[in-house]
Chain A
Amino acid sequence: MLLNKYKIMKKVININFQGRILPIEEMAYENLKQYIESLRTYFEQEEGKDEIINDIECRVAELCEDRLKKGAVCITEQDIDLIITSIGRPADFEAQDGFEAQSSSGNSNYSSSQNEGQNNWDNIRPKRLYRDEQNKVLGGVCSGIANYFGLEPLLVRILWIFLIGVNILGYLILWIAVPSSSVKEIGGVKKRLFRDIENKVIGGVCAGLSKYFGIKVWIIRILFLIPFIRLVFNFREIHLFQFWDAPDFPNFLDITFSPGSVFIYIVLWLVLPEAKTSADKLEMVGEKVDLNSIKNTIQNDMEGFSKRAQGWGSDLKNKYQTDHASNTKNGASAHPSEKRKGIVYYIGRIITISIKAFVYFILGIIGISLLAALFGIGVAATAVMPLRKFLLEDGAQSWAAFGTIVLFIWVPIVGIVTAIIRKIAGFKKTNVWIRSGFWALWIVGWVMLFYFGSSLGNSFSKHNTPVEQSIALKNANVNYLEVTATPKMKYYEDKWFKVSEFVDYGDEDTIFVRNLRIRIVQSPTDSFQVKVVKLSNGKTVAEANSLANKINFNISQQDSIIYLDKGIGINANDKFRNQHIIMTIAVPIGKRIKISNKGWSQTNISINHVGSLLPLSLLYIDY
């Protein structure tokens, strides 16, 4: 009694084997599969091998059913072992090659030739190139080659990709030409395409396809995702939402997808039935499919779809007619209700699937865009970190900046990417610790962000008291004045992250910011006038004043050209506190000014208070 309680429960599965539904222990099923596989190899050269194996399978199924009829709950490993022994293993065939006269009359129902293992024949079979269905990623070509030459499959895959490139055509040829190591899966159930709703992410299409082709599901999901990613990374020149009118139609059904993948996905979603019953599920994983048989099956499925579509059509007609009839007859609405349900169901299904697909499409685009944006921010923020000494105070503020970048930006990126990969790879269990760990770190990131933001805000909180200085021009009476930057020495330019857009490295401890505004007003006199206001922020007014006074900005005139400094020098001790300069140029009536904006992209130029933010390379103004 007690023993029963502690008996280990073995996992029992239902298989459809030669037209019989058999409850069988998982291990027993594995053994059975292995056995059939060994027969298949043994009879490889035999003329009617499929028939032989089919006969033997039938017999096995029959013997299994006998066991069940005698009251067994399921087929155990022991049962399978006895059945296999009675029918004989390939090793036994070879040892006996026929029948044997029994020396002592056995009382067992099963003959006693268990002495030989089933391994001998394995070694003597001739070496041939097979596609290895057991270790495949796509068609098993690479692992087959690896098997043939006794190499590591991973090595062959890497070599395949790097030496030949992703040679898709060659791969396909080998896929078709090289025979599979297991042409048919046990049982010979016809395989059909279903949507696998148990393993679904959206509609179960990818999971169903992976079952059908026996390919890992993440590969198919990635194939479907590629267009999304491409679409998002092509956004550079596409203004947001403009893409709605501009999907590239010539490429619509490109094999590398483009928006076509969404289209294909929706079609498959509509066409493929869900795997609902256990029979469906068996059929879903049924027999192995070769490239050749794929076409037929898809055709069949499509025919099925057209039939179903016709079905909907006739449903529609029926509904119309019955409605018509009930209008005239004034009642008798009992029997058409079923049909009405049908059509409502189908129409509803189309609508819901379309809406769902649309929503997932938009969510996908938005999600991947956000992720890409976040990633961009992360990269930019990290890249700018070497410049922090010009901006951040040492100590808490710097640490908060680091914390914000790592915890607030990178942690969610890693978390989301991890989650996507887990989802694609089909992990069902979520690891609570990892998940809550990510959330906890991100919350800390928020704290960091707030601290950093307020701390930095505080550093910029006060303005200096502006003082306008007049710059004496050597020759203020010229008719034409050109404003340009001082020709400068070469400076280090880091194009990669485009830091140089607003920052130049002077020396190790100095950067230049081109924080300059030029106002152009009408001069009251008949000569040019230049005035400069130096401005800065700071934690206190005193700090802001001192920073503003430290701004060293040279303006010099040679003939009709005014040279300006390349930027405002900022050293690591003083930090950047939005030091900037407003330069007012008063132009007399009837005279002309030119501002050459080369290298001054950050400069704002306003004319009589009307701002112009365009980065003009040349600007002529006549008064």
Chain B
Amino acid sequence: MDIQNTQSQMRKGVLEFCILSIIQQGEVYPSDIVEQMKAANLHILEGTLYPLLTRLKNAGLLNYRWVESISGPPRKYFVMTEAGTEAYEVLQKTWNEMATSVGTIITPKANPIVHQADAAQ
């Protein structure tokens, strides 16, 4: 079994959820998303973030606006759209359910299979 592939599949699944979660808390600049995620010990490359944001924006979940910066040209800040908020809520629900399910499954408890194997020996 390809562990790495599974790992990346797992991450991919929650990635959009994490990003939406951060944006849902308020207007952000992409590099702030990277920072916030890093603070939570999750690393994402900006090179992967930008295409994701664009995809989400094109799907109508996000919007952006130009914010004048002190120096240099204006910067693109991302905000949630209504559709985005709805989608986020669905995702959050799914995540909560999944977290509970997964938590239940992986919590150690008496395992009958192991006992059977032991008994066989």
Contacts and interface: CB of A to CB of B under 8 A. Distances in A.
A105 interface: yes
A56 B57 CA distance: 16
A18 B73 contact: yes
A98 B50 contact: no
A96 B72 CA distance: 32
Interface in B11-69: 11-12, 15, 30-31, 37-38, 41-48, 50-51, 53-55, 57-58
Contacts of A102: 38, 41-43
Nearest to B48: A93
Given A48-B55, A55-B54, A62-B75, A100 B11 contact: yes
A444 interface: no
Nearest to B31: A59
Contact of B44 (A18, A89, A99): A99
Contacts of A87: 45-47
Given A97-B8, A98-B12, A102-B42, A58 B73 contact: yes
Given A59-B30, A97-B12, A88 B48 contact: yes
Nearest to B7: A100
A245 B47 CA distance: 67
B76 A47 contact: no
A215 B7 CA distance: 50
- How big is chain A's contact interface, by range? 35 or more
A228 B73 CA distance: 50
A582 interface: no
B60 to A, nearest CB: 13
A18 B69 CA distance: 14
A111 B73 contact: no
A582 to B, nearest CB: 94
Contact of A19 (B12, B47, B58, B73): B73
Contacts of A69: 71
Contact of B46 (A61, A88, A113): A88
Contact of A99 (B45, B73, B76): B45
Interface residues of B, number: 28
A51 B56 CA distance: 13
A43 interface: yes
A101 interface: yes
Interface centre among B31, B41, B47 (most CB of A within 10 A): B47
A382 interface: no
Given A55-B76, A99-B44, A100-B43, A65 B8 contact: no
Contacts of B72: 19-20, 61-62, 65
A501 interface: no
Interface string A38-52: 010001001110011
A88 B71 contact: no
Interface string B81-106: 00000000000000000000000000
Nearest to A92: B45
Contacts of B42: 99-102
A19 B44 CA distance: 27
B41 A96 contact: no
A18 to B, nearest CB: 7
B95 to A, nearest CB: 16
B58 to A, nearest CB: 6
A101 B15 contact: no
A58 B45 CA distance: 15
A522 to B, nearest CB: 103
Nearest to A48: B54
A182 interface: no
Contacts of B51: 43, 46, 48, 52
Contacts of A604: none
Given A20-B73, A111-B45, 14 more contacts: A46-B51, A48-B51, A52-B50, A58-B75, A58-B76, A88-B47, A93-B45, A98-B8, A99-B37, A100-B11, A101-B43, A102-B43, A105-B41, A111-B43
Q: When A and B form their complex, which 7 residue pairs have the shortest distance between CB atoms, in order from nearest?
A: A88-B45, A88-B47, A99-B44, A19-B73, A48-B54, A87-B46, A98-B11
18 contacts: A18-B73, A19-B73, A43-B51, A48-B51, A52-B51, A55-B50, A55-B54, A56-B46, A58-B76, A69-B71, A86-B45, A87-B45, A88-B45, A89-B47, A92-B47, A98-B15, A100-B11, A101-B11
Interface of B: 8, 11-12, 15, 30-31, 37-38, 41-48, 50-51, 53-55, 57-58, 71-73, 75-76
